[in-house]
Structure 1
Amino acid sequence: MGELLNGIFECLDINSSTGLATEDSLQGMTSFQRLFYTQVHEKIGIDAVYFLRDENGIAKIPLIYFSAIQKYDAKQVAELHRLSWNLGEAPLLFVVTPDEILIYNNYETPQVVENGNLDPNAGIIETLNLTNGLASQRLALKKYHRSLLESGEYWRQSMTRFDVQSRVDSTLMSNLRIMRRTLINQISKRCDTSKETITGVVHALLNRSIFIKYLEERKDSNGETVFPQDFYCNFMKSAKQYTDVLNSKEATYNLFRTLKEKFNGDTLQVSEIEAEIITQDDLNELRTFILGDSELESKQLTLWPLYSFDIIPIQLISSIYELFFHLSEEDDEKGTYYTPLHLVNLVMDEVYPWEGEYKDTSFFDPSCGSGVFLVEAYRRLVCRWMSQNDVHTINCDQLNLLLKNSIFGVDINEEAIRVASFSLSLAMCDFLDPRSIWDKLSFPRLLDNNLISSDFFDEDKSFNNRRYDVIIGNPPWQSNITGKTKEYLKKANSVIGDKQIAQAFSIKCSELCKQNGIICLLMPSKGLLFNRSDKSRAYRANLFSDNNVLAIINLSVYRKFLFDHASGPAAAIIYTPKKEDINQPIVYCTPKPIYTIEDIRKFSIDPTDICRIPRDIIDDDRIWKIAMWGAPRDLELIGKMQSTFAPMASFIEENHMTTAEGFKRGNRKHQCCDFKGLPMVEAKSFKPYYVSSDELPRVDFDDFECIVKNAREIFVAPHLIIKQSHKNGTFLSEVLDYDAVFNHSLLGIHGNINKLKYLSVIIGSKVFSYYHILTNRKWLVERDELEAGDIWQTPIPSPNEAEINEACEIFDELVISPTKNGKAEQFVRHMYRLREYESYQIDDVIDYVYDYFKNKQRSVSFERPNPNAYKLYYDSLSEVLTNTFGASTGLTGDLYFGDAPLSVLVLNIGQQNDRGLNFAKSDDRLNEILMSLDGAVVDNQKMIFIRRNLRIYQPNRIFIIKPSQRKYWTYSAACRDADEIFEDISRAWR
């Protein structure tokens, strides 16, 4: 079987250097690989795991499990799929027999057939017959080739196959949510106890049940379990499992007390109120749920019998607990709020990666919740200790010592602190064999020592007396500060914007961190990067001046993939109190989803998503938004527009115009009959440029909150009405020659009709949209609308009389044919004095950046380029390089493209001819070149399909390797690449 597996690995082009972990490669594995492989090998029977590597070549994300069995056995194969599904990591499972390869989808829920057995066909993707040998299936295996997995092309081609809703984390959370609600409602009907108390009792009961199931199901390779033989008989005669004991309340709570005494610690306590209000009916409900005998609200049998809590990752269980603290009655039916594990890993990798020297390190989470960051820190700390001491096992005493000396946290929620302690206890168990857990393990008492229930800003608590090496966490995001927070800010003479308590956390964390320590916090990106109130600007200025900010990871574009119920998009900021290397630029990274199943497991970071912000421009509010979606040339163009043309507010003032938002009905406390019978323009049926009075409804109400007393002229003709939200990336406005009213979602300008028409032509242009995509703090961050202040700050060219007349003619044509806007675009670009290359920049932002944001996976950005796109890229790149280095450079190009996920442009230097670009469409030749280049990158680490967008320099040639997607072969991409090539060559010449 080993020979057959090796043959499959060869077909897929995977080996130990490209992320494959097998028993033979243990010594060369990373700490994470070794820990993960050992666990899946022992718990599931997996023979090999293929990991996706990151941009540095480090194996990070499990993609495929391989298990070789001597012959096909339906029960064994179905069980392999069930256990792989429980692990919730690698999406693919290859079960290999001498006669066939069965390929499974590990995100698809296992199924039970009528006879009670698992269905071996559940989750099956395909079966490859090996009757004629492995060579006969090479073509079929090609779709799982390393190049397609590393480049992400496999996931794009299989977009509909993998459903996140059937993954173990989604189903388990859904089941627990329903069981939670069932028990809370059942108890509430008979008890006068507060809902908060009942909820806490139910959470404790469910948590304890998960822990017992974990202990019950933990087995070693010899089948030994945690509990001694006949353990449950101590509580109920003939009881063999936890569900048997649940038939008696007395037996159940005797079991709870025994476990509490056995394991000590502070996580298994049963409160008096729980023992009082839980009845046998509640335990019966819990029992039927665990056994799968009850029907859920969806009318499907519970999946609990399919779960194996010894397989489900401890971090996932900790994250599930976090769900409980954020779940309100309204949220019960919806998604979940918890810190996703790949986000935890992303930020932990920045401050404490798996690989590294072990030394005493203290970790602190200022808002630890269920302890998901602390659990991950503890796992990495233990693995570093084991690696440093060259051991593969660790004893209970050492685990306790590392935990007590290194892991600290605080949370205002006492229940959360208990669960954090519980989560850390489970993490300890995962490093021990089952018998050691029972015979030797005693959990440390963490409450009031390492883990403290307190307001983070309570200066009297003991956690303030320490200084920590690593501070990491996800503080609250509310715009609501506590009394203790106010006291702290006043005493510290610190300012925060918009009452963002997370900003207050970031200030105090600097005080609690050692001078050579590091801090990483997840924060709302709006307040951290984009809000422009005076206090927000002051907070940012102080943060950058008082600390050494190393990096900011702007996760705004991933908003919908992270926190279903978050109030806004997120960013991670990494900084240290020690002011060293303050001249070094700040690394600013904005990952962008690729809209495949990968987005729930990893952050896609392209080289173009990373830039280095010089310290001398960090006070420029524009930089964070422009660098999020644009390039250095966009910063230049925006700067040119702002420095050359005055804002619209000045144009309005100079021309004695009146502006305001429309009326607001709101609380409807004010009576006003002035508008009765007037035409009313509505945002939902807004028509661009002009709408006749006959097409509008009339005002038939007289109750308002705001009636625009001081700027009533906005309702008087002639007036320009602007819709603050866009339609397909274009902002709409209309100029009316009759009186009409509108509500506060529309803006009004009263003034000279010809100048209003001029403004309308500007507002409807791509230039206007381009400017706001790259400068507006909300659009393409959170909301799809502009605020009045943003519109008034738009740079507007000052027209002469001839230009006003031309604008009026264009406007009148647009009234008749609103979609025929070519002349209008040309006019606006002339007014802004745009050069041809600047027009290309604007078109690229609208055609690719906006289209990507709007259409997501259906965006033209992901389409394959046609020859014209490749040629535009080459011509633009050549022109910039020739202008930079001189005509004597002599550039020609060879473009290799085909069905592969990457295309290759070879720039030939020093060839004095007019050949230009030569196209070579050949799959075989392209693959030959890619494989050759793959071995030439980074010491033969074969990284080309991971890094994807890269360049390789040879004496007379430059290889440009990029994904075969249109967004990589645009004019703007060519300019960026040309600028970077110039920098690379200049650096080499120094």
Structure 2
Amino acid sequence: MTGQEVIELIGLNRAKSLNSKSEKLLESESIVFDHVREFEVDSIYFNTDENGNSFPAVFLKRVKTFDDETLQAIADAHRKIWNYKKVLFLYVYSDTQIRIYNCSEKPLIKTQEYIDYQKELQSVEIKSYTFSDKKQLEELNMLFSRIAIDSGIVWTLEEAQFVRDKINLQRRVDKYLVESLVNTSEQLLKQGLEINFIHKIILRSLFLLYLEDRGATDEKLYSQLKKGTKSYFDILNDTKATYQLFERLEEDFNGNVFTLEKDETISAEQLQLIKKCFISGNDSTPQAKLFEDWRLFDFSIIQIELLSEIYENFLFKTDPDLKKKTGTYYTPPALVEFILNEKLPTNKTEINYNVKVLDPSCGSGIFLVESFKRLVKRYENQHKEKLTDFNKLKKLLTDNIFGIELHPQAIKVAAFSLYLALVDKLDPKNLWQKKKHRLPNLINSPNEKSLKEQGKNLFCRDTILQNREIENIEFNLVVGNPPFGTTDLLESVRNYCEKYGFAKEMVLPFLHKATKFAPNGEIALIFNTKVLTNTGGSYQSFRKWIFNDCYVESVYNFSILRNAKKNFGGQLFGDATGPISILFYQKEKPKMPSDRIAYYAPKTFIKSNVIDGLSIDFTDLKYLPREECQKPDTKIWKIAMWGGMNDWELIQRLDNSKLNSINKFTKKNKIESGVGFQLLTQKKDKPKSSETLSKLKYLDADVITRYYTADNLLRDVKKSIKTPKATKFYKDYYKIDDINKLEKLTAFRRLGDVKAFTRPHIIVKKGLEQNSICASFIENQCSFRDGVYGFYTSIENIEELYLLLSYFNSNLSTYFLFMTISSYGIEREQIMKNEYLSIPINLNEGQSLKIKKATTQVLSKLKAKNFLSNSIEKEGLEIFISKNIDSVIYESLNLE
């Protein structure tokens, strides 16, 4: 088979040639083509979703042979694609073979010495396939075909394990650059530089390299400062010239980006560390050995939008407390693109470019940069020509792009990112250096002394306080990613929530105040999903307002993606594992309101990790009745996230009928419940002493098994001290140097319900066991920690505990709680005691007797075997439980 025939075999003949006429391309495809024309590839395969958004998935390059010259060209193409970040795979094929390259892997470091490209490219090659080998072609078609790419099958097939072993998305350009910046910062810290100064010097370098690589600075600018210099790296060889350049740019940027302090000092050696960082990152190759004029990072390719991610990740990794205090997580470009595809599309029919956009928590400006670029594109759609005029671009920016941000350093990054987006459109790009083309003042920050003039676009303010200057502007679109969290709340947030009766949750005032910023406009904001599902009264008050006093168009719930493995693309917010959603709404009802709300809850992350983007599958779309959504206490958001309308109707029937609950059952049958003890971990904790606890055997939550836990798993209560924090505290408290020398543990933070330890009991874990509720009968007295609940009664009443044991372990209980409670399946995989007590129960006397009898038999089998010794016995017991317990429960609720 020829190379072209193989490409047809694997379905990639649908790839778009870089010679394709622009009118035959989708708008999203045209944008990609403009970015990658210099990559020395021949075609691009796009994955297109049901909304018509295309995402580049594979680059293809045809070659005659794989000789040294060709391999050098492949290495160069690979470096460019790595800097582009959006595509995982480069397919290079001749008429005899195809080689699959991993574009998430760091490129070769080019040195002055001879490079054996055949050998060195092996580190970025996933596999090569020879066309004459039928078995190889079969594997190629199975793992790397169009169907495999579209379905993301490479992440799930057992045969593709070798591919997964080679791909690590944490080695992409943005991650490696941040890692390199953090590493350099640590070296500079050790040399005595202050962290805020390090932030400034690194950010200045980032800004200058973006300008230089995009042609916005030139040799003339550098040679004016020092004769013979041609680049920023040349300037870095001279401390005096470096600061002359910074001073020049402080003047050119009106103090909006560069701010020099009088006492700044940095050595030539320290400047060389920064230079090395931006040339080859963390690589250990000495500077002198690197190929002249070669650089790993290419800021003409690294997207401007990534500047926001790079800055915020770098800042938070070097100052982690700032992230905790602000509740802020960077917004990845894919999520920004997704939101703006909905609210600010740029297809050829979109010609309205006078759209006032506000991001009320703009951070380092990613939403604003992308919005500005889209308004430029709309201007070009209207006028049928490229927009390169400085004054028109400046006016478009200052008339329409607005942001509010509390953190002064972040707002400077936002200003520079917008300057860069403007400069990137100019022709020539260095036009901004001329006196008559001064970049606009954007930042408005009365406390910032370096500003020569207050701007009217980026406000360094507390969004939630009254800001008349901003609130007098009527915005057409409000977009953004406000901070969320319930700790370290600003006084303004706390007061706002109290005023409106909302939960003290950071994001709620932003969602509410957005309607004041855009009373007649549209709003699209990211928020934490528990706002939809939390059953607390103050959360219900917010939901009553948002779904009744506003018009919600759609909700996108991405909670299921929160635990995506980092190697498979990472979480939507990096190390933020909390569930996120997007709310599309407006204050006023449209003329033709819908009685349904569109609700998307993607069930998989697979597809979104082969492509760099959020590709929506319409099988994840549901239309929820608006009337139900308007009820503050509705459970529809959680139910529809995992199930369908049949599930909602079933839960409604279970929830609304006159059924008893476990709570009523326990009261009727004199079953009490309590929680386990807590250890001391902080000096401010007041110790509580208990000789009883010190003598009781202890059951660790990790060894609890469903239905029955054997006595031989019980330990001394001293074994409850496991974490480093608890170990350190108790060593200090008892004045010992080794925790194993502790003779007796008598001091606790809370004792728990001691009766739950000493009377006949079953225990129920707060966490889950293989995604199911885990309740277990314990024959002897024992204590347990606060991650376990104890249900106990008198010895005469033991059979009622047996019934409760089986009911908790039933499929019905797991299903009901999974579908209804706020955190299970959304944020923390745990169940509160009051949630266990809410489970419906409707057993008659005969059904109760059947379950008690069956439970007795189950416990007998487990005791005899001291748990099941093989899979056949286990399967047999599961069938017995299904027939004699689960089926009886279904019958009692009329579910059979």
Q: TM-score range by the shorter chain?
A: 0.7 to 0.9
Q: Deviation digits for residues 391-421 of structure 1, max 9, x if unmatched?
A: 1453222221211111100100011111000
The equivalent of 2:308 in structure 1 is 318
What one-letter code is carried by the residue in structure 2 that aligns with 1:554? N
Shift of 1:64: 2.4
The reply to whether residue 634 of structure 1 matches residue 641 of structure 2 is: no
Q: Deviation digits for residues 589-639 of structure 1, max 9, x if unmatched?
A: 111334477267233544332211101211253211111111222223323
**Greater relative contact order structure (CA < 8 Å, 6+ sep):** 2
Local SS of the residue matching 1:675: helix
Distance 1:665 1:95 in 2: 60
Distance 1:150 1:470 in 2: 33
The reply to whether residue 745 of structure 1 matches residue 787 of structure 2 is: yes
Distance 2:669 2:893 in 1: 31
Shift of 1:154: 5.2
Structure 2 residue corresponding to 1:290, chosen from 265, 278, 286: 278
For the aligned residues, what is the CA RMSD? 3.6
What one-letter code is carried by the residue in structure 2 that aligns with 1:524? N
Local SS of the residue matching 2:604: coil
Q: Is the 8 A contact 1:200 1:415 kept in 2?
A: no
The equivalent of 1:124 in structure 2 is 125
The equivalent of 2:841 in structure 1 is 796
CA distance 1:38–1:114, change in 2 (3 Å): closer
The reply to whether residue 48 of structure 1 matches residue 49 of structure 2 is: no
- 176-185 or 466-475: bigger deviation: 176-185
The equivalent of 1:81 in structure 2 is 78
What one-letter code is carried by the residue in structure 2 that aligns with 1:311? I
Shift of 1:59: 4.2
Shift of 1:244: 2.2
Shift of 1:25: 2.1
Matches within 5 A, 1:555-570: 555-560=558-563, 561-566=571-576, 568-570=578-580
The reply to whether residue 212 of structure 1 matches residue 222 of structure 2 is: no
Q: Is the 8 A contact 2:218 2:230 kept in 1?
A: no
Distance 2:241 2:26 in 1: 46
Local SS of the residue matching 2:278: helix
Distance 1:673 1:721 in 2: 22
Q: Deviation digits for residues 927-957 of structure 1, max 9, x if unmatched?
A: xxxxxxxxxxxxxxxxxxxxxxxxxxxxxxx
Structure 1 residue corresponding to 2:259, chosen from 265, 270, 276: 270
Structure 1 residue corresponding to 2:180, chosen from 175, 184, 187: 175
CA distance 1:125–1:659, change in 2 (3 Å): closer
Shift of 1:101: 5.5
The equivalent of 1:358 in structure 2 is 351
Shift of 1:551: 0.9
Local SS of the residue matching 2:467: coil
Structure 2 residue corresponding to 1:603, chosen from 606, 611, 614: 614
Distance 1:458 1:31 in 2: 40
Shift of 1:382: 1.0
Structure 2 residue corresponding to 1:543, chosen from 535, 546, 550: 546
The reply to whether residue 109 of structure 1 matches residue 106 of structure 2 is: yes
Local SS of the residue matching 1:519: strand
CA distance 1:599–1:326, change in 2 (3 Å): farther
Distance 2:625 2:554 in 1: 12
The equivalent of 1:686 in structure 2 is 704
Shift of 1:147: 3.2
The equivalent of 1:495 in structure 2 is 501
Distance 2:761 2:98 in 1: 71
The equivalent of 1:347 in structure 2 is 339
- 790-799 or 816-825: bigger deviation: 816-825
Shift of 1:54: 1.1
TM-score of the two chains, using structure 1 as the length reference: 0.75
Matches within 5 A, 1:959-970: none
The equivalent of 2:412 in structure 1 is 418
Matches within 5 A, 1:614-629: 614-618=625-629, 619=631, 620-629=633-642
Distance 1:532 1:421 in 2: 41
The equivalent of 1:575 in structure 2 is 585
Local SS of the residue matching 2:361: coil
The equivalent of 1:940 in structure 2 is none
CA distance 1:77–1:721, change in 2 (3 Å): closer
The reply to whether residue 832 of structure 1 matches residue 889 of structure 2 is: yes
Shift of 1:138: 11
The reply to whether residue 485 of structure 1 matches residue 485 of structure 2 is: no
- 354-363 or 142-151: bigger deviation: 142-151
Shift of 1:837: 11
CA distance 1:364–1:597, change in 2 (3 Å): closer
Matches within 5 A, 1:670-749: 670-691=688-709, 696-699=714-717, 700-708=744-752, 712-736=754-778, 738-749=780-791
Distance 1:138 1:151 in 2: 17
Shift of 1:388: 2.0
What one-letter code is carried by the residue in structure 2 that aligns with 1:701? L
What one-letter code is carried by the residue in structure 2 that aligns with 1:44? F
- 243-252 or 657-666: bigger deviation: 657-666
Shift of 1:236: 2.6
Shift of 1:535: 0.6
CA distance 1:769–1:655, change in 2 (3 Å): same
The equivalent of 2:723 in structure 1 is none
Distance 1:293 1:532 in 2: 48
Shift of 1:268: 4.0
What one-letter code is carried by the residue in structure 2 that aligns with 1:217? D
Shift of 1:291: 4.2
CA distance 1:595–1:834, change in 2 (3 Å): farther
Local SS of the residue matching 1:730: coil
What one-letter code is carried by the residue in structure 2 that aligns with 1:578? E
Matches within 5 A, 1:180-195: 180-188=185-193
Distance 2:607 2:321 in 1: 26
What one-letter code is carried by the residue in structure 2 that aligns with 1:26? S
What one-letter code is carried by the residue in structure 2 that aligns with 1:683? A
CA distance 1:298–1:547, change in 2 (3 Å): farther
The equivalent of 2:528 in structure 1 is 524
Q: Is the 8 A contact 1:149 1:155 kept in 2?
A: no
Q: Is the 8 A contact 2:100 2:127 kept in 1?
A: yes
Of all paired residues, the percent bearing the same amino acid is: 27
Distance 1:178 1:333 in 2: 19
Q: Is the 8 A contact 2:199 2:315 kept in 1?
A: no
Shift of 1:587: 0.9
The equivalent of 2:799 in structure 1 is 754
Q: Is the 8 A contact 1:266 1:418 kept in 2?
A: no
What one-letter code is carried by the residue in structure 1 that aligns with 2:124? G
Shift of 1:83: 1.1
What one-letter code is carried by the residue in structure 1 that aligns with 2:102? N
Q: Deviation digits for residues 359-408 of structure 1, max 9, x if unmatched?
A: 21011101101101111111111112112211145322222121111110
Distance 2:662 2:576 in 1: 35
Shift of 1:801: 5.9
Shift of 1:755: 0.5
Q: Is the 8 A contact 1:235 1:255 kept in 2?
A: yes
Matches within 5 A, 1:752-791: 752-791=797-836
Distance 1:453 1:464 in 2: 14
Shift of 1:476: 0.9
Distance 2:93 2:21 in 1: 20
Equivalent pairs, count: 804
Q: Is the 8 A contact 1:475 1:522 kept in 2?
A: yes
Local SS of the residue matching 2:90: strand
Shift of 1:695: 5.3
CA distance 1:281–1:617, change in 2 (3 Å): same
TM-score of the two chains, using structure 2 as the length reference: 0.82
Stretches of structure 2 lacking an aligned partner (at least 5 in a row) = 445-455, 564-570, 718-743, 868-873
Distance 1:712 1:463 in 2: 58
Shift of 1:471: 0.6
Distance 2:778 2:139 in 1: 65
Distance 2:891 2:850 in 1: 21
Q: Deviation digits for residues 309-363 of structure 1, max 9, x if unmatched?
A: 11111111222112234334568999x9521111111222221123252221011
- 620-629 or 358-367: bigger deviation: 620-629
Local SS of the residue matching 2:691: coil
Q: Is the 8 A contact 2:757 2:783 kept in 1?
A: yes
Q: Is the 8 A contact 2:761 2:778 kept in 1?
A: yes
Shift of 1:815: 4.0
